[in-house]
Amino acid sequence: MSKRTWLYVFGAALLVSAAPIVFGASRPSAAQASATTTKKKKSSSKSKRKAKVKGQTVPTPDRIRDIQAALQKDGSYEGELTGKWDAATMDAMKKYQDKNGISPTGKIDAVSLNKLGLGSNTAGKGAPVPAASSSVSPADPPGK
């Protein structure tokens, strides 16, 4: 072989070996490829979505009947206990809320339910506030 042939062969070998470095594409070894595939499988099995926060659900017909009965007992609602939140029930709730100093929206809220005697002890009262510690006063310097 001539010098020129050897230079072509040597140049081609260098070009092939340097191609991944020049073009930024490195090929992973077989062990690296299987580790990458395993990682992808593990990460794809977990959902990246956040859990949906459940909002307030629509009251059941039985619950609406309870509200209608309480409004009827108060004298704000006149009619049958249908279990449907219709215009008559909404008007009765507005009338009840206005009579009791609540903003008359006609919607079911915690304050209205508490006044009707249908709410929980904690509904509409806000988050609990931790009690202040009486052992150390903030004005006292440390060490005294």
The answer to whether the predicted template modeling score (pTM) of the entire model surpasses 0.75 is: no
- DSSP code for 117: T
Whether the pLDDT of residue 47 is over 90: the answer is: no
Give the type of residue at 63. R
DSSP string of 58-85, one letter each residue: PPPHHHHHHHHHHHHHHTS--S---S--
Where residue 141 falls among pLDDT bands split at 50, 70, 90? low
**In the block, which residue shows the tokens 């859990």?**
51
Per-residue confidence (pLDDT) for residue 21, from 0 to 100: 60
Pure H helices in the chain? 3-23, 30-45, 61-74, 87-99, 110-116
Residue 21 and residue 29: Cα distance in Å, rounded? 15
* Count of beta carbons in the 10 Å neighbourhood of residue 91: 15
User: Is the model more confident about 122 or about 38?
Assistant: 122
Angle, helices 87-99 vs 61-74, to 10°: value is 50
Residue 74 in contact with residue 96, Cβ under 8 Å?
yes
Calculate what percentage of the chain has a pLDDT beyond 90. 35
Per-residue confidence (pLDDT) for residue 57, from 0 to 100: 80
Per-residue confidence (pLDDT) for residue 133, from 0 to 100: 59
Side-chain half-sphere CA neighbours of 58 within 13 A: 5
- The first and second tokens of residue 28, run together, are 């992973």
Mean pLDDT of 28-46: 56
